[in-house]
Structure 1
Amino acid sequence: MTGFSLQYLPRFFVKQRLTMLANRYEIREALPDGSEGRMFAVAQQKRMAMKEQVTFFADDARTQPLFGFKARRVMDLAAAYDVTAADGTVLGSFQKDFGASLMRSSFHLNGPGLEAYGQERDATTALLRRFIDFPFSFHFDFTDKMTGASVLSSTRQFTLRDRYTVEVPDQRVDFRLAAAVAVGLDALMQR
């Protein structure tokens, strides 16, 4: 893929790849029939970094960075992550709501003209997930703080390998911000 110009994408998939040394994710388009289309990006989480960081690349060889997210601080219970384009332009941010996350993982999402809040839909699954290492299917809903309208949802499929369907009904949500949040929900959920 050459260049990255897509700013809005209403639906896409995130698939975790099984690797020994790093967390890797594929971001793929969702075709009208529900199948997977072309790959838009490959994400890789840096291991052993002082600050959590995930970079999204245009290709498997990881030669062309597109965007990414990085923690603002080293250790933070209410960790905040800035999402930036490859040139450093800030696209938005997301932050864990530590207090609310004790029961159900919850996050604040901010972008240009957007303030949203998201949490796991099902409280029972959220609690079970904390005590049982099982590939539960779970669902995150992000809603606009002012209107309550849906802005983004991420649904983990019931599979051994992490696979998510991401729906973005709000055109204010840049695809790169949505992809960063979707990967962040998986990569950072255990913290």
Structure 2
Amino acid sequence: MSMPPLVPSEIDPFAGSHYYLKRQLLKMIGATFDIYDSGGQQVLQAQKKGFKLKEDIRIFGGPGFQTELVGIFARQIIDFSAAYDVMDARTGQKIGAFQRKGWASLARDEWTVMNAMDQPVAVLIEDQLWMALVRRLLTNLIPQNYDMLVGETRVADLKQNFNPFTYHLAIDCFQPPDQLDRRMVLAGACLLASIEGRQSGG
């Protein structure tokens, strides 16, 4: 007996290799980010809560994007060198964390990617120092480009596509899901989108 085909809500949204994030326009409080797969179908939606002293971002999936899957929470109010915990909303267990390198990020944005025990496992860093410096002078005119590195190996690429009206980010993963947790990659993408929006006044 053949099984019925999977409907989109039953497909694992964290099994892909290519994603595209778009920030919704005209959001007065907080922010909403729609996440699409390589076929152009929306598979996830991230929501940043407004009026929060500490960053609070939730990633939703399922029908109508009503099921909370991942939470991203700042540990402290000041985000100069802030750490952000990434939690599995269904189990309550910690997946990992990101910590921004404050002073280093003034010239070239850099994050430490940690596992559930806060052990460093990767870095998320702007592609080139000279390009990072030019971006700081020309603000939004030069799109951001980040590499996620495990040692010297690039395991993911997060590249902003220029759009004068809103934030678009292409996300490519170069390792299979059992080696590179897509929840961490997409959590990093949501953090970048959220912080970019705040710094640019969005």
Provide the TM-score with structure 1 as the length reference. 0.85
Higher helix share: 2
2:66 corresponds to: 63
Which of the numbers 167, 178, 182 marks the counterpart of 2:172? 167
Structure number with larger C-alpha Rg: 2
Question: Where do 1:143-162 residues align within 5 Å?
Answer: 143-145=149-151, 148-160=152-164, 161-162=166-167
With CA pairs under 8 Å and 6+ residues apart, which has the higher RCO, 1 or 2?
Answer: 1
Aligned length: 184
Q: Percent identity?
A: 24
For the pair 1:187 / 2:190, whether they are aligned, the reply is no
2:102 corresponds to: 98
- For residue 26 of structure 1, report the CA deviation from its aligned partner: 0.6
Q: Please list every run of 5 or more consecutive structure 2 residues that lacks an aligned counterpart in the other structure.
A: 1-7
Question: Where do 1:48-127 residues align within 5 Å?
Answer: 48-58=51-61, 63-87=66-90, 88-111=92-115, 115-127=121-133
- Whichever residue aligns with residue 184 of structure 1, its letter is L
1:140-180 deviations in Å (ceiling 9; x for gaps)? 011103xx111211000011221111011123221221111
User: 2:107 aligns to what SS in structure 1?
Assistant: coil
- Whichever residue aligns with residue 169 of structure 2, its letter is Y
Alignment partners' CA distance in 2, 1:179 and 1:15:
12
- For residue 44 of structure 1, report the CA deviation from its aligned partner: 0.9
Moved over 3 A (4+): 1-8, 59-62, 111-114
User: 1:83 aligns to what SS in structure 2?
Assistant: strand
- For residue 114 of structure 1, report the CA deviation from its aligned partner: 7.2
Provide the TM-score with structure 2 as the length reference. 0.80
Query: How much is the aligned-residue C-alpha RMSD, in angstroms?
Result: 2.4
With over 3 angstroms needed to count, the CA separation of the structure-2 counterparts of 1:114 and 1:75, relative to structure 1, is closer
- For residue 186 of structure 1, report the CA deviation from its aligned partner: 1.7
- Whichever residue aligns with residue 150 of structure 2, its letter is D
Task: Select between 92-101 and 1-10 the one with higher mean Cα deviation.
Answer: 1-10
